[in-house]
Every structure is written in C-alpha cells, then in structure tokens.
Amino acid sequence: MNPLIQQVQIGIDFIETNLDDDITLAQVANAADISQWHFQRIFKALTNETLKTYIRSRRLANALDKLLDPDKRIIDIAFEAGFESQESFTRAFKKVYEMTPNAFRKLANKNLFLKKVQFDVAYLQNLKHNISLEPEIYVQPKLDLVGLRTVFYSVDSEKNNIAEKLPPLWNAFLTKLIEVNGEVPEMCYGIIRQTAEKTDRLEYFAAVERSALKHLPAELVDLAVPESTYAKFACKGEVGNLDDTVNYAYSSWLLGSEKRHTYGADIEYYGPEYDADSKASTIYYAIPIE
C-alpha cells in the first residue's frame, strides 16, 4: 500500500480509537503526520464528505452499539458521542437513521452500522471510474508575482465559501489590470496555500508575474513562489470542472503514485487556452511534489 494511503488510514484509525473523546481535526491530521488542510483535502477527494461529517457519522454509528445496552442511559450516550444534549443527539440520529435512539433501542437492529473508510489498491483503481490521467512533471522556476489576496474555506471544510470569495476577487483583479495596463497579461495565476496558522482556512492570490505589468497598481501585494517540482493536470471544459481535476490529483494520482505533496503552494494556470465562455477551455492545476 502507498505510504501516504497508510498515513491517511492511521488518521482514520485514530478516529476509531477515540470516538468517545473530543476529536479535533488537527489531532487527526497530526496522528497521520499530514498537515490539516491536506489531510482534509485528500479525505474529501476520496470519500466525497468532509472529515468533520465523517467523525460525526462514526460517532453516531458507535452510539448504535451502546444503545443495545439497556442499562446505558441515552443522555450519557449522547454526551459520549459529542452532543451537548439528548435533544440534539436525537435530532442528528433521526436525520441519519430516520428513527429516534429509543426506537432503535427497541428494534435492536445491528445492520445499520456505518462503515469506516478503507483505503486500498482496489478502491483507488475504481475511484473516478478508472480515469487514467498522467500529469506533466516539471520544475517551476521561482515566480515573482503581484496580485490581490483573500482568505477562504475550501470544499473540504464545513465552512466552504469559495463561491463568495474567489469570483469577486478575480473580477476586481482583472478590472484593475485593464485600468492600469490596458490589457490582461497572457498568463494569470491562482495561488492557493495554507495560512500561517495552518488551519483549514486558506489564502488565495489572483496574480500575474511582476514583469508582465507596465504599471503596478498600489493595491497589489507581492508574492514569491519558490522553485519546486510540480505535477500539472489539465482541466478541460467549464471552470466548474476544476474541482474534479483537483480531486483526481489529490486522490487517484497522488495516492497511487510514489510522490508526496510538499505542502507548498498549489498553482492554477490561466493561459492562452483558457476561455471562460468556451467549452474547449483548458485550465491547468499543479501541485508541488517531492
């Protein structure tokens, strides 16, 4: 099994071992020895659910077993599952299992357990319907960029607000370039990286190379992306397809290869092949590897 898959499985096993305790996302990532955001990104790509949702689901599944013990009070089970009250536990339980905890206790049906995620070769081979996509491996020289910055929560987070943050940022950035430069440079970059506090909050830069500008707007901030080896994936079609490309890069390819993400910045390339109004458009998404 790929070492990175083993690390992710260690994180899953940590959750299983500590279902009766308060589990933070940072603790799971630390147990797997992977940064929090990258663990969440890989987990979401593989399972199509957030890590937080998975932990809640596993706690509910763990509660099922305890409900079979008639001497165990439901309120105690609720607290052990991380709920603040029996009422909130009942609401969450009913939403998942379409019955109350008390009704399940009377039914005593063991077939409703949720299964924990298992990562193995067969799973990876079937992921994304056996898509075969080999990236371009190359060395990206250091990039001296200027751009506009925002912070956001990605699709891997319960607080996902990409739609609120990134389109307005790009609109403001491109408008600024046309105002001071008269045109948009041939190549623009989207830079995604973790914030300094290394939570699941990220920072995003809409940027261009400093040398591509005739005039430098005062509002733009400097950004340097150090030289690194990258794996670049093509995303064809509508911009909305980009997330599928990222999921593939982080799951099928990265987990099936012998490479590791360096935790450096991911790069989106918007070049001559990009046309927001064309289904023949191509965006390139690159991840730094070692």
For residue 119, is it within any domain? no
What is the pLDDT confidence band of residue 130, given thresholds at 50, 70 and 90?
A: very low
| pLDDT at res. 108 | 61
pTM passes above 0.85: no
CA distance 241 to 153: 18
The type of residue at 279 is K
The residue-averaged pLDDT of 109-127 equals 51
140 and 108 belong to one structural domain: no
More confident residue, 170 or 7: 170
Closest CA to 53 of 156, 162, 163, 198: 156
Contacts of 256 (CB under 8 A, 6+ apart): 2, 124
For residue 131, is it within any domain? no
CA distance 59 to 214: 57
| pLDDT at res. 143 | 97
User: Angle at Cα 29 formed by Cα 23 and Cα 31, nearest 5°?
Assistant: 80
Closest CA to 201 of 162, 227, 170: 162
282 and 245 belong to one structural domain: yes
CA distance 77 to 83: 9
Percent of the chain with pLDDT over 70: 90
Last residue of a domain, one of 42, 77, 112: 112
Lowest mean pLDDT among 59-68, 127-136, 186-195: 127-136
For residue 126, is it within any domain? no
CATH number of the domain where residue 83 is located: 1.10.10.60
28 and 148 belong to one structural domain: no
Cβ neighbour number for residue 35 with a 10 Å cutoff: 18
CATH number of the domain where residue 238 is located: 3.20.80.10
Provide the domain limits for residue 73: 3-112
- Tokens 């596993």 belong to which residue? 58
Closest CA to 233 of 244, 243, 225, 245: 245
Give the torsion through C-alpha atoms of 233, 237, 239, 240, to 10 deg: -100
Q: For residue 142, is pLDDT > 90?
A: yes
264 and 152 belong to one structural domain: yes
Q: Give the chain's length.
A: 290
Q: For residue 128, is pLDDT > 60?
A: no
Can you say how many angstroms the Cα of residue 147 is from the centroid of all Cα atoms in its chain?
Answer: 23
| pLDDT at res. 174 | 94
The residue-averaged pLDDT of 145-154 equals 94
pLDDT in tens, 71-104: 889 998 888 888 888 998 888 888 777 788 888 8
CA distance 2 to 206: 34
| pLDDT at res. 119 | 57
172 and 106 belong to one structural domain: no
Q: In this structure, what token pair is assigned to residue 218?
A: 């005062």
| pLDDT at res. 166 | 95
| pLDDT at res. 236 | 82
Task: Please report, for residues 67, 92, 112, 184, 216, the alpha-carbon distance to residue 100 in angstroms, rounded to integers and kept in the order given.
Answer: 11, 9, 13, 58, 62
For residue 128, is it within any domain? no
For residue 122, is it within any domain? no
| pLDDT at res. 43 | 87
- Tokens 């998975």 belong to which residue? 54
Last residue of a domain, one of 112, 127, 162: 112
Q: In this structure, what token pair is assigned to residue 77?
A: 């089970």
Q: For residue 271, is pLDDT > 60?
A: yes
82 and 22 belong to one structural domain: yes
Residue-averaged pLDDT of the chain: 84
* Residue 112 near residue 97 (C-beta atoms within 8 A): yes
Cβ neighbour number for residue 58 with a 10 Å cutoff: 21
More confident residue, 11 or 119: 11
Q: How many domains does the chain have?
A: 2
49 and 82 belong to one structural domain: yes
